[in-house]
Amino acid sequence: MGRLRLFLCALCAALLVAALPVHAAQVALVLSEEGGAFSEAADAVSSELRSAGHRIQTIITPLRAEDGAALNASALIVTFGTRAAQTIASLAPRSLLLHTLLPRSAYDRLPQRGEDGRRTSAVFIDQPAGRQIELLRLALPDWSRVALIVGRESSELGARLQANARERRLRPVLEQVGDESDLYPTLQRVLAEPTILLAIPDSALYNNRTISNILLTAYHHRSPVVGFSPAYVKAGALLALYSTPAQIGQQAGETARHALASGNLPAASAPRYFHVGTNPYVARSLGINLEDANTLRERLERWENTQ
C-alpha cells in the first residue's frame, strides 16, 4: 500500500506540473490602428494567451522608439492588419511572427524570412475557395452560372475560385477589370443572363463607393449577390460568408499558444471558424427558396468535416 500511495502521489505531482505553462512568455500584439476589428481580434488573442499564463504587450502603429525594446523581448509577435504586418515584416524580427486580419494576397507580398518558414505564418481573412463554392451549391442548387469580377490584386483568388467552381460542375465567368470605371460595363455584360455574383474581397472594386450600385445592378438583372461581410447582407446581398474578427482572433490565439509551446508555427491558413448570413427579404423578392443561415452553416460544416 505504501508503494502504491507513493506512486499515486508522484503521478498527481507530474500531472499538476504538466498542467502548468511550460514557459510564461512575452507576446507583442501589433495593431494597424486602435479600435474596431483590430482590437476585437486582439482581445480574443489576449484571452487565449493569458489563460496559458503568457504576458501581453499591445503596440499600435506607427511604432515609437520605445516599442523596440518590447518587440525584442517578445518570443512571439502577432500583427493585426496589413499595415502592421508590413511594418513588422520589414524589421525581420528573430521571434516567432504570426500575421492576422490580412488577405492572402497581402501576405504573399510581405518579405519572408527564408531560413525557417516554420517561424512565420498567418491566419487570413479570405475564406477558402472550396468553402465559398460549396456554399453556392448548398444555398442555390438550381443556379449554375457564377460571375467573378476581379482586379489586379485579386486575380489569383479569382483563378482559384474559377478552378474550384469548374471542379464542382458550375459555370464560372471570370472577368478582370482595371479600375472602377470598368466595373459597371463588366457587370452589365456578365449579368446579361441570371447569374450568381460572387463578390471578391478586393477594396479597389468592392468598397463603400461601389457597393450600392453593384447591388442595384445585380438586383435589376435578377441576379443574387453573395458577399464577404455582414454589411453586404444588410445592404441587400442574398448571402454572405465571413469570419468575425473575434473568430479570427480565437484561431490566431490557439495557433500562438501552440507555437509558444512547440517553438514552431503551422503553415498559413484560411479562417477555421465562420458565419453565414442570409437576407430572406431579398430571397423572397428574387423568388429564391433559401434555407436559414444556421442550417446553411451546419450543412457547410458537415461538408468540410468529410473532406
Domains and CATH numbers, the chain: 19-125+246-262 (3.40.50.720), 129-242+274-305 (3.40.50.2300)
pLDDT tens-digit readout, 74-125: 999 999 999 999 999 999 888 999 999 999 988 988 987 655 568 899 999 9
Mean pLDDT of 38-47: 97
Q: Residue 8 pLDDT > 50, yes or no?
A: no
Mean pLDDT of 65-71: 93
Specify the pLDDT at position 257. Answer: 96
Specify the pLDDT at position 178. Answer: 87
Q: Tell me the pLDDT band of 1, cut-offs 50, 70 and 90.
A: very low
pTM for this model (two decimals): 0.86
User: Which carries the bigger pLDDT value, residue 82 or residue 181?
Assistant: 82
pLDDT tens-digit readout, 270-297: 999 999 999 999 999 999 999 999 999 9
pLDDT tens-digit readout, 100-114: 999 998 898 898 765
Q: Residue 20 pLDDT > 50, yes or no?
A: no
Specify the pLDDT at position 16. Answer: 40
Specify the pLDDT at position 114. Answer: 56
Q: Residue 62 pLDDT > 90, yes or no?
A: yes
Specify the pLDDT at position 13. Answer: 40
Q: Tell me the pLDDT band of 15, cut-offs 50, 70 and 90.
A: very low
pLDDT tens-digit readout, 136-173: 999 999 999 999 999 988 999 999 999 999 999 999 99
Q: Residue 22 pLDDT > 80, yes or no?
A: no
Specify the pLDDT at position 112. Answer: 76
Q: Residue 2 pLDDT > 80, yes or no?
A: no
pLDDT tens-digit readout, 222-270: 999 999 999 999 999 999 999 999 999 999 999 999 999 999 999 999 9
DSSP-derived secondary structure for the chain: -HHHHHHHHHHHHHHHHHHS-S---EEEEEESSSSHHHHHHHHHHHHHHHTTT-EEEEEESSPPTTHHHHHHT-SEEEEESHHHHHHHHHH--SSEEEEEEE-HHHHHTS---TT-GGGEEEEESSPPHHHHHHHHHHH-TT--EEEEEE-STTHHHHHHHHHHHHHTT-EEEEEE-SSGGGHHHHHHHHTSS--EEE----TTTSSTTTHHHHHHHHHHTT--EEESSHHHHHHT-SEEEE--HHHHHHHHHHHHHHHHHHS-----B--SS-EEEE-HHHHHHHT-----HHHHHHHHHHHHHT-
Least confident of 7-21, 124-138, 241-255: 7-21
